Amino acid sequence: MARHRKSPSGPARFVFPIVILCLAAGGFVFFRGSGEGQARTIPLLEPRDYLDNALALRGNTYRLQGIVDDSLVWTPGNGRLISVQAGEVLLPVVVPREQSDLNIQKAQRLEFVLEVDEEGLLRATKVTKS
């Protein structure tokens, strides 16, 4: 006798479609946020390293997450200079005018993409709330 293929029955017959759907949703999410995913490839700035040898970091781009400590200087034309607490260290970060569409306030937790300029100054190229 030919044995007849026996169709799954019961709850099992629903597991496979759910898995497929989840994979499809995950793929969607992954591919939809491909830019952010790119930022995550930027290395994090180690604050202590910056303090100890900032000049060696010139020309590099880093990612920094920290809490806004203080707004040091603000000029309409040039942007804002803020101090960011990263761990135990306070770092000065220049937020150019182009990046000022985000309201920056004290005690905000922000994530910066930074460039170290020739004077060792941290200039933000992207600021996001984290």
Partner 1 sequence: MKTPLAALLALPLLALGQNGGDAGQGASRPPRMNEGFIGRDIPAFDPGSEVVAYDGKLWNINNNRLFRARFEKYLNAPPATGEADVRYRETIDRILDLLSPGKATKANVDQAFSLLKKASEYPDDANLCRTMSDAIHAARSSLNTIEQIKRENALLEKQRGTAEWNNQMAARTSLLSTTTSTNDSAVLQENQKIERDARMATTRRVLSDITQTIENNKLRIAMVELNTRGHLQALIMQYFATRRFEHVIIANRFYRAIYPDGDNSIDVYKRMIDGLPVNKDAGQAKINAELDPRVSAGDGTVEQDVGAGASAGNGTQVNVYNSPRARNGGSFSARGAKMGIENFSVESLTGGAAVAAQTVSKLVSSLSQIDSLANEAIRDVNEGVQAYKFLLEQGEMQSATERLAETFAIGEYMPSVRLLPREDKRRALAFTQKSNELLAALEVNDLTRAEKLVHEIEAVAADFDSSKPLAKIETAKTISAMHLAKARNAAVSGDKKAMEDELRAAAEIWPRNPALAEVGTTIFNQSDIQQQAMNDFDRLLSQNNHRQIYNDKLRFIAAAALFPEKQKQLNDVLTKMAAVETAIVKAREISSRGDPSGAWESLETAHREFPDDPELNQLRADLTTQAAEFVQTLQKASSLEEKGHTGPALAWFLQARKTYPPSTFARAGIERLGTRILPGDETENSDR
Q: What residue ranges bind partner 1 (CB under 8 A)?
A: 50-51, 54-55, 69-81, 83, 89-92, 94, 106, 116-117, 119-122
Token digits for 81?
Answer: 């200079």
Burial of 53 from C-beta contacts in 10 A (0-12 / 13-18 / 19+): exposed
Of the pair 10, 76, the CB lying nearest partner 1 is at: 76
**Which residues, 6+ apart, have CB-to-CB distance to 96 below 8 Å?**
78, 79, 123, 124
Instruction: Specify the residue for token string 């985000």.
Output: 102
Please report how close the Cβ of residue 42 comes to partner 1 at its closest, in angstroms.
19
Nearest distance from residue 66's CB to partner 1, in Å?
12
**Least distance from partner 1 to the Cβ atom of residue 117, Å:** 7
The smaller minimum CB distance to partner 1, of residues 36 and 52, is found at 52
